[in-house]
Structure 1
Amino acid sequence: MSVAPNHKPVTPLLTVDIVIEMIDRPGRPIVLIERKYPPPGWALPGGFVDVGETLEAAAVREAKEETSLHVRLTSLLGNYSDPARDARGHTASAVYIAEASGQPVAADDAQHLEVFVPDDVPVLAFDHAKIIADYLAFRQTGRPAPLRQDAP
């Protein structure tokens, strides 16, 4: 473990991402945001966990901040921690599946949002294409994301 000069451990930043299913629409399409800040592109709603906040509370908060939706978390899809998943630095993300209804509105870090059929999404930022692939497999099998043990 690395230790900074202030004697605090240097660890990955903790994040959450949320696959929001719109349960009031046919086929349960999902919400994607177009990022306002670098790195640009389409992404799942999500962000950094605040100190003193649970992962679940962070997921609900980030969903509300970026989409204006009140979500109900239904499942933990998986954890994603590839050191290269975010060009800004090493992050580890807990990814949740959530349900919502109503009209999503882009806010906070989202400059725009759209609702997409999950198997027809645009090119995504970060490792979100892998997350969507795992989500589609989850919808078919009911099993969470596979454990990836291909670490160096």
Structure 2
Amino acid sequence: MEHRNPFPAVDIIVEMIDRPQRPIVLIERHNLPYGWAIPGGFMDYGEPAEETARREAMEEIGLEIELIDLLQVYSDPARDQRQHTISMVYIATATGEPQAGDDAKDAKIINIWEIPKNLCFDHDRILHDYLQYRNYGIRPRL
């Protein structure tokens, strides 16, 4: 039997602290699976997760971010239909105007009450957990 490991990734919930209500940034994916997603991507070999988050934010939305907290690690084998991924999800802050880059077709600043329904992967669950934490201080359950 071939030995296989999950692929490590990061996702970043980017709060725009220079806007009222602290909206977040979502990207519209240019590649499959299509739809809206939290910025993020796969770790490079030898790269710490925190650096992956900063690199992916710059590549996908063109913003320098400040990491604030680690929301949770998401590892359900079904979270990504392409392969088994493990994502470390960070909460970060940024200022400025996001610009779509890398595999992002579009980047938008979204108020939390305007989050689209067609989110990719398990990002609806992640954003639900984030809102519970942001609004009520309730951390996601393990």
Report the CA distance between 1:143 and its aligned residue.
3.8
Deviates more, 1:47-56 or 1:116-125: 116-125
Corresponding residue SS for 2:114: coil
| Aligned pairs (5 A) from 1:85-104 | 85-104=79-98
Within 2, Cα distance between the matches of 1:36 and 1:47? Answer: 13
Alignment correspondent of 2:31: 37
* Identity among equivalent pairs (%): 52
TM-score, length-scaled by structure 2: 0.96
Provide the alpha-carbon RMSD of the alignment.
1.0
Summarize deviations over 1:44-66 as a string: whole Å, max 9, x none: 00000000000100011101100
| Matched residues, number | 141
Aligned counterparts of 1:118 and 1:97: Cα–Cα separation in 2: 14
Instruction: Show structure 1 runs of 5+ residues with no match.
Output: 148-152
**TM-score scaled to structure 1, two decimals?**
0.90
Higher normalized contact order (CA 8 Å, seq sep 6+, divided by chain length): 2
Preserved contact between residue 35 and residue 41 of structure 1 (Cα < 8 Å): yes
Write the distance in 2 (CA, Å) between the matches of 1:61 and 1:145.
25
Tell me the alpha carbon deviations over residues 80-100 of structure 1, each in whole angstroms, 9 at most, x when there is no partner.
Answer: 111111110100000000000
Report what 1:22 is aligned to: 16
Q: List runs of 5+ in structure 2 lacking aligned partners.
A: none
Structure 1 match to 2:73: 79
Q: What is the CA distance between 1:140 and its match in structure 2? A: 1.7
